[in-house]
């Protein structure tokens, strides 16, 4: 891409210089012709020619896109079954993408339903069993008591989570995660 642009720039400069030389030669042979431009105006003429080429290149690009769009619409109009299938696949893909984003937004991106949710943090510790794998576990009671006394924190709460089965008569059992705040701790 850059090589083409550089080559086009050189061609523009060469074209402007050739045209100026032609005018000088015509002026030398015909005294009635208008005066040839001076060599000092050459850079300005090259700049103007480059600007013209950029406008023409953009116009050609937009015209090419318009022609491609018209051709695509004509082809789609000739094959209505293919068109409906394509639109259906696009609709399913866009719907699935929107659904996945909505779920990710709801689960991972949306703020917690607490005031100053950006100031809520979870304190965890690591254990290194004999196999060497790092395990993250909830903080121990002494660590939480120390956090509760820490002046840098506004407050602390102990939360114990566990899995449970929710059984409603006449319905299938649902597996849920239950959180319990310990006694003597505030939220």
Alpha-carbon gap, residue 14 to 2, rounded angstroms = 18
Model-wide pTM > 0.75: no
Please answer whether residues 158 and 185 qualify as being in contact, where contact means their C-beta atoms are separated by less than 8 angstroms: yes
pLDDT of residue 13: 76
Residue whose C-alpha is closest to residue 148's, from 175, 123, 180:
123
Alpha-carbon gap, residue 136 to 129, rounded angstroms = 11
Please state the separation of Cα 39 from the chain's center in Å: 49
pLDDT of residue 97: 98
Q: What is the DSSP letter of 112?
A: P
pLDDT of residue 38: 63
Q: How many CB atoms lie within 10 A of CB 85?
A: 11
Alpha-carbon gap, residue 90 to 68, rounded angstroms = 20
pLDDT of residue 43: 75
pLDDT of residue 86: 93
Q: What is the DSSP letter of 154?
A: S
Please state the separation of Cα 101 from the chain's center in Å: 14
pLDDT of residue 186: 52
Q: Give tens-digit pLDDT for 50-98.
A: 777 777 777 788 888 999 999 999 999 999 999 999 999 999 999 999 9
Please answer whether residues 125 and 147 qualify as being in contact, where contact means their C-beta atoms are separated by less than 8 angstroms: no
Locate the domains of the chain by residue range.
2-78, 79-110, 117-181
Low-confidence ranges of the chain (pLDDT < 50): 187
């Amino acid at each position: 891409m850059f090589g083409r642009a550089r080559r086009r720039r050189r061609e523009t400069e060469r074209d402007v210089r050739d045209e100026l030389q032609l005018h000088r030669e015509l002026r030398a042979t015909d005294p009635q012709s208008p005066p040839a431009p001076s060599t000092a105006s050459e850079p300005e003429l090259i700049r103007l020619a480059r600007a013209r080429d950029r406008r023409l290149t953009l116009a050609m690009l937009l015209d090419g896109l318009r022609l491609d769009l018209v051709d695509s619409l004509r082809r789609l109009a000739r094959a209505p079954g293919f068109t409906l299938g394509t639109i259906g696949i696009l609709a399913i893909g866009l719907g699935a993408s929107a659904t996945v984003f909505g779920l990710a937004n709801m689960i991972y991106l949306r703020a917690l339903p607490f005031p100053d949710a950006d100031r809520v943090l979870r304190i965890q510790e690591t254990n290194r069993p004999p196999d060497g794998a790092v395990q993250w576990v909830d903080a121990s009671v002494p660590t939480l008591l120390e956090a509760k006394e820490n002046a840098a924190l506004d407050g602390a709460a102990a939360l114990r989570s566990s899995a449970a089965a929710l059984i409603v008569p006449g319905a299938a059992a649902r597996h849920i995660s239950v959180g319990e705040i310990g006694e003597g701790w505030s939220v």
